[in-house]
Structure 1
């Protein structure tokens, strides 16, 4: 198990967890969001291959509509 932070909340996950697996684990929608790891945006087509490592800081931002 490794420790990461997701939107400033600590979480333990299996080693070699991908962004896509993380999103499923926390019940996050996969459309209309942006994901950054350690302040770097990760393109959606990389979510299934980008693995997380100890102490990564993940920021998940939900797009909103307004006017």
Structure 2
């Protein structure tokens, strides 16, 4: 199936959850926020949230600054 990940198309297997996607794409498990179709997904739900064909996923990484 095909999803959008941070504005790029990505082909993934069916039955992939948010946690698996983060591991597959080498994103850290801390310091990030994940939204699917403009809906923030709580970190406690990442392992249960299955991705669907056509989902638009946005991953935002916290940065330090000052």
Where does structure 1 lack aligned partners over 5 or more consecutive residues? none
- Deviation for aligned residue 1:3: 0.3
- Residue deviations 1:1-52, cap 9 Å, x none? x100100011111111000000000000010000000000000000001000
Q: SS of the counterpart of 2:58?
A: strand
